[in-house]
Amino acid sequence: MEKLYAIAALAALAQDSRLDIFRLLVQAGAEGLAVGQIADRLGLPSPTLSFHLNQLRHANLVTFRRDGRSLIYSAAYPVMNDLLAYLTENCCQGDASACGRGQCVPEPEAQGVARHEAPARSHLRR
Protein backbone atom coordinates (compact mmCIF):
# COMPACT_ATOMS: atom_id res chain seq x y z
CA MET A 1 0.00 0.00 0.00
CA GLU A 2 1.30 3.41 -0.90
CA LYS A 3 1.59 6.09 1.74
CA LEU A 4 -1.10 8.28 0.08
CA TYR A 5 -3.63 5.42 0.14
CA ALA A 6 -2.84 4.76 3.80
CA ILE A 7 -3.35 8.44 4.61
CA ALA A 8 -6.70 8.49 2.79
CA ALA A 9 -7.87 5.35 4.59
CA LEU A 10 -6.78 6.59 8.00
CA ALA A 11 -8.37 9.99 7.37
CA ALA A 12 -11.66 8.31 6.48
CA LEU A 13 -11.55 6.20 9.63
CA ALA A 14 -10.64 9.16 11.82
CA GLN A 15 -14.28 10.24 12.04
CA ASP A 16 -16.46 8.64 14.73
CA SER A 17 -19.46 7.68 12.57
CA ARG A 18 -17.31 6.34 9.73
CA LEU A 19 -15.32 4.21 12.15
CA ASP A 20 -18.59 2.84 13.58
CA ILE A 21 -19.86 2.06 10.07
CA PHE A 22 -16.63 0.35 9.06
CA ARG A 23 -16.47 -1.75 12.23
CA LEU A 24 -20.09 -2.78 11.75
CA LEU A 25 -19.36 -3.86 8.18
CA VAL A 26 -16.27 -5.79 9.26
CA GLN A 27 -18.40 -7.61 11.83
CA ALA A 28 -21.09 -8.32 9.22
CA GLY A 29 -18.65 -10.31 7.11
CA ALA A 30 -18.46 -10.72 3.36
CA GLU A 31 -22.24 -10.64 2.90
CA GLY A 32 -22.34 -7.05 4.12
CA LEU A 33 -25.38 -5.05 5.16
CA ALA A 34 -28.08 -3.11 3.36
CA VAL A 35 -28.01 0.65 3.83
CA GLY A 36 -31.26 0.49 5.81
CA GLN A 37 -29.77 -2.05 8.21
CA ILE A 38 -26.73 0.13 8.79
CA ALA A 39 -28.95 3.15 9.42
CA ASP A 40 -31.14 1.21 11.86
CA ARG A 41 -28.24 -0.25 13.82
CA LEU A 42 -26.34 3.02 14.14
CA GLY A 43 -29.26 5.43 14.25
CA LEU A 44 -27.94 7.59 11.43
CA PRO A 45 -30.23 9.60 9.14
CA SER A 46 -30.07 8.62 5.46
CA PRO A 47 -28.29 11.76 4.17
CA THR A 48 -25.63 11.49 6.89
CA LEU A 49 -25.13 7.78 6.29
CA SER A 50 -24.87 8.32 2.53
CA PHE A 51 -22.18 10.97 3.04
CA HIS A 52 -20.13 8.72 5.32
CA LEU A 53 -20.48 5.67 3.06
CA ASN A 54 -19.25 7.76 0.13
CA GLN A 55 -16.22 8.87 2.14
CA LEU A 56 -15.41 5.25 2.99
CA ARG A 57 -15.95 4.23 -0.63
CA HIS A 58 -13.61 6.95 -1.92
CA ALA A 59 -10.96 5.65 0.49
CA ASN A 60 -11.57 2.16 -1.00
CA LEU A 61 -12.48 0.77 2.44
CA VAL A 62 -15.95 -0.44 1.41
CA THR A 63 -17.55 -1.88 -1.68
CA PHE A 64 -21.20 -2.08 -2.61
CA ARG A 65 -23.45 -4.12 -4.82
CA ARG A 66 -27.05 -3.76 -5.85
CA ASP A 67 -29.51 -6.43 -4.75
CA GLY A 68 -32.85 -5.55 -6.28
CA ARG A 69 -33.58 -2.05 -5.01
CA SER A 70 -31.14 -2.28 -2.08
CA LEU A 71 -27.51 -1.30 -1.90
CA ILE A 72 -25.45 -3.77 0.10
CA TYR A 73 -22.18 -2.45 1.53
CA SER A 74 -19.27 -4.64 2.61
CA ALA A 75 -15.89 -3.97 4.13
CA ALA A 76 -13.06 -4.22 1.59
CA TYR A 77 -11.01 -6.81 3.47
CA PRO A 78 -8.02 -6.79 1.08
CA VAL A 79 -7.67 -3.01 1.51
CA MET A 80 -8.06 -3.32 5.28
CA ASN A 81 -5.40 -6.04 5.39
CA ASP A 82 -3.08 -3.97 3.18
CA LEU A 83 -3.50 -1.03 5.55
CA LEU A 84 -2.73 -3.21 8.56
CA ALA A 85 0.32 -4.63 6.79
CA TYR A 86 1.50 -1.13 5.88
CA LEU A 87 1.14 0.01 9.49
CA THR A 88 2.99 -3.00 10.89
CA GLU A 89 5.61 -3.68 8.20
CA ASN A 90 8.38 -2.39 10.44
CA CYS A 91 7.07 -4.04 13.59
CA CYS A 92 9.75 -5.49 15.83
CA GLN A 93 12.46 -3.59 13.95
CA GLY A 94 11.41 -5.10 10.62
CA ASP A 95 11.52 -8.71 11.86
CA ALA A 96 8.04 -9.80 12.92
CA SER A 97 9.42 -13.22 13.93
CA ALA A 98 11.36 -11.43 16.69
CA CYS A 99 8.02 -10.80 18.41
CA GLY A 100 7.82 -14.51 19.22
CA ARG A 101 4.65 -15.45 17.35
CA GLY A 102 5.47 -14.40 13.81
CA GLN A 103 3.24 -11.37 14.21
CA CYS A 104 3.38 -8.02 15.91
CA VAL A 105 2.35 -8.27 19.53
CA PRO A 106 2.32 -5.23 21.81
CA GLU A 107 4.66 -5.65 24.76
CA PRO A 108 1.97 -5.90 27.53
CA GLU A 109 0.14 -8.73 25.77
CA ALA A 110 3.38 -10.61 25.18
CA GLN A 111 3.88 -10.62 28.97
CA GLY A 112 0.44 -12.08 29.64
CA VAL A 113 -1.41 -8.82 30.31
CA ALA A 114 -4.91 -8.97 28.88
CA ARG A 115 -5.64 -6.52 26.11
CA HIS A 116 -8.87 -4.55 26.15
CA GLU A 117 -10.85 -4.48 22.93
CA ALA A 118 -13.74 -2.06 22.76
CA PRO A 119 -16.87 -3.53 21.18
CA ALA A 120 -18.39 -1.75 18.20
CA ARG A 121 -20.48 1.11 19.39
CA SER A 122 -24.12 0.21 19.50
CA HIS A 123 -25.51 3.42 20.97
CA LEU A 124 -27.92 5.42 18.89
CA ARG A 125 -26.89 8.79 17.59
CA ARG A 126 -29.35 11.65 17.52
Predicted structure pTM score: 0.74
Question: Is residue 60 assigned to a domain?
Answer: yes
Question: Is residue 124 assigned to a domain?
Answer: no
70 lies in which domain range? 3-78
Q: What angle do CA 20, 22, 28 make, to 5 degrees?
A: 105
Question: Is residue 69 assigned to a domain?
Answer: yes
- Tally the domains of the chain: 1
* Of residues 30, 121, 15, the one with CA closest to residue 73: 30
> For the segment 21-46, what is each residue's pLDDT rounded down to a tens digit?
999 999 999 999 999 999 999 999 99
Question: Is residue 105 assigned to a domain?
Answer: no
Q: How many CB atoms lie within 10 A of CB 96?
A: 17
Q: What's the CATH number where 54 sits?
A: 1.10.10.10
Question: Is residue 112 assigned to a domain?
Answer: no
* Of residues 9, 66, 80, the one with CA closest to residue 32: 66
Under the banding of pLDDT at 50, 70 and 90, the label for residue 122 is very low
Tallying the residues shown for the chain, one arrives at 126
